């Protein structure tokens, strides 16, 4: 089994030395750099490049510079998607966003995790768990979402939250760790 296959299966894989994994990371790093250099008045070029970078895009999506991701092809966005500046998506596993998702500035979505075992971690091993964000979700500024989390439909995540576990439909949730504040 290749390191890429291990990554996609959610197993520990070599993230720091495998040529195939590194080639994908370097390709995406270059593409993000180039996209972030596109002038704001050249929206069509930016839109085209992002559409080619992401695994799936719906109708009407905006990603404000600067933006960074690790692979791009693991990101899937629905219709009417807005992502403000300084977003980081470490998409070692799939990251899906439903329709009508609004992401405030400086948010992070991390599918990559590292083993607690020091020897494995020092070998450069890591794992990846998918993140899913439902429809009609508003994510406030400076929110961090960790590996394996699902955020339901019709949810608002308050600014500064660290989302460490699944959030059900129809709630306002906030805090560190993020917890349900009230049902909507």
E strands, 15-165, in order: 61-63, 67-69, 75-77, 81-83, 87-90, 95-97, 101-103, 108-110, 112-113, 125-128, 131-133, 137-139, 144-145, 150-151, 156-157, 162-163
**Cα of 121 vs its chain's centroid, Å:** 22
H or E segment to which residue 59 belongs:
none
Angle, helix 43-53 to helix 19-36, in steps of 10 degrees: 160
What positions carry a catalytic annotation? 114
Please choose, from the candidates 30, 17, 121, the residue with its C-alpha nearest in 3D space to the C-alpha of residue 69: 30
């Amino acid at each position: 089994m290749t390191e890429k296959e291990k990554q996609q299966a959610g197993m520990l894989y070599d993230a720091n030395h495998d040529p195939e994994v590194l080639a994908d990371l370097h390709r995406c790093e270059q593409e993000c750099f180039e996209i972030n250099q596109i002038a704001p008045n050249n929206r069509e070029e930016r839109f085209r490049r992002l559409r080619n970078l992401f695994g799936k895009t719906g109708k009407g999506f905006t990603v404000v510079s600067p933006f960074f991701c690790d692979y791009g092809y693991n990101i899937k966005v629905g219709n009417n998607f807005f992502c403000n500046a300084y977003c980081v998506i470490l998409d070692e596993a799939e990251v899906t966003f439903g329709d009508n998702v609004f992401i405030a500035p400086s948010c992070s979505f991390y599918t990559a995790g590292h083993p607690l075992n020091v020897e494995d971690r020092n070998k450069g091993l890591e794992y990846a768990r998918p993140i899913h964000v439902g429809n009609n979700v508003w994510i406030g500024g400076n929110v961090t979402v960790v590996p394996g989390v699902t955020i339901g439909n019709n949810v608002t995540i308050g600014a500064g939250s660290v989302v460490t576990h699944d959030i059900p439909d129809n709630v306002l949730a906030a805090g560190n760790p993020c917890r349900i504040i009230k049902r909507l």
